[in-house]
Each structure stands twice: as structure tokens, then as C-alpha cells.
Amino acid sequence: MTAAKSALNAAAAAALLAAAPLAAVPLAALAQNDGAAEKGRDERVAMALTAAQEAEQASDSAALASALRVIARSGARPMEGWTGADPVPAWRAMVPAAVLPPLRGSPLGPGYRSGQIGAGQSDSFQQVFLSGRKASIALSAAGTQPLSLRVVDAARKPVCVADVRQRACHWVPIFTQRYLIEVRNAGQSEANYFLVVD
């Protein structure tokens, strides 16, 4: 096989892999502590945000400090353009300063947002993802909230649909474009959630 033909085959294979959305991550994998290195940074941050919220409600400062360390190490910050209340500064104020790493500058980590969705309602927003760069979105919520995640491209074609068991999406966009991210609550009561985009 000639070098040109080999390079063409490799390029075609890469294009096919980039075009297909990667499998959604099962929720059970998010709930397990073992294998944390296998989880994406977005999933670890989403789980840490939920853990921090639960630790605050339980007045567990050790668990809160542990969750905040994960968030700080990742460099996570509120998503650009999100106008909701960021709970992280209030959580940091609840933990002695000596326990947490200092905040430094403007980190280039994943972006996060929180939200509340009424029963049978959805929350959506748009986000630009760059061509050829892995896109990751993770959704977390306390308890067994029946939340789902859906991502569609500019042509309204689904890129990822993740249900109650699968709350993470990973794919490599073929084109730089704006994607619609939708979180839906299929439950009978209001649901709180955290969404992390990396």
C-alpha cells in the first residue's frame, strides 16, 4: 500500500470516528468512586458539585471540603453568560481557608451552571463547540431525579440523547457551531441540577 493511500485511509477513519457521537456514560458509573481516573473531568466536576450541595445540606464540612478540592483542582468556573447564582463562593466560605487550595487567576477549566426545572419542564441554552476538539457535557442531580440530557446541532440533528441512567455526552464536532443543550425533568416535582461543559 502506498504512503498516500495509507494516509487517505487513516484520514477517512479519523473523519468517521469524529462524526459519530461517543457513547453516553451510564449513571451507575458516575455513582461509583472506584475508577475515578476513567471518568472525564466534566463528570468528576458534576459529581463534586452535587456532593458539595449534599454536604452543605448535611452540615458535613469534611465532605464539603473534599468536593471543593475536586472543583478547585479542575479549574472549573461558572459558564460564560450564565446569570444564575454561583454556589461555590458560599461553599468556600463555610470551610476553613487552611483546608482549601487558594484561588488563582482565571483558570481554563470546565464551565458549570446550576438550575431548577419544574415537573414536566425543560431548561435549555446554547453553547459553541469547536471543530475537531472533544466536547463533553455531564449532568448531575441529588437523589433519583428523572432528568435527561439532549444535545442537538445547528441543523436540529441530535448529537446525544442521555436518559436517567446516562447523564454524560462526549463527541468530537465536525464543524464549529452552536449546539442546543436541553435538560428535561420527567418527574412529578421540581428538580435541581448541575451541568458541566468541558
pLDDT of residue 141: 87
pLDDT in tens, 40-57: 888 899 999 999 999 999
What single letter denotes the amino acid at residue 122?
A: S
Which band of pLDDT confidence, cut at 50, 70 and 90, is reported for residue 101?
Answer: low
* CA angle, residues 154, 27, 163, in degrees to nearest 5: 40
Instruction: List the helix and strand counts (H, then E) for the chain.
Output: 5, 9
Contact 168, 137 (CB under 8 A): yes
Positive or negative torsion for Cα 82, 113, 42, 25 = negative
Q: Which of the pair, 165 or 36, is modelled with greater confidence? A: 165
Pick the closest to residue 84 from 45, 127, 125, 52 (CA basis). Answer: 125
Percent of the chain topping pLDDT 70: 73
User: Which uninterrupted H or E stretch holds 124?
Assistant: strand 122-129
Residue 91 corresponds to which cell in the numbers above? 461553599
Q: In CATH, what number does 8-197 get?
A: 2.60.120.380
The region that residue 132 occupies, defined by phi over 0 for left and psi between -120 and 50 for alpha, beta otherwise, is: left
Q: DSSP H helical segments within 20-40, as ranges? A: 27-31
Q: pTM for this structure?
A: 0.64
Residue 155 to residue 129: CA distance in whole angstroms: 14
CA 168 to chain centre: 7
Give me the sheet containing 168-171, strands edge to edge: 77-78, 111-117, 191-197, 135-140, 168-171
pLDDT in tens, 8-44: 344 433 333 333 333 333 333 333 333 444 678 888 9
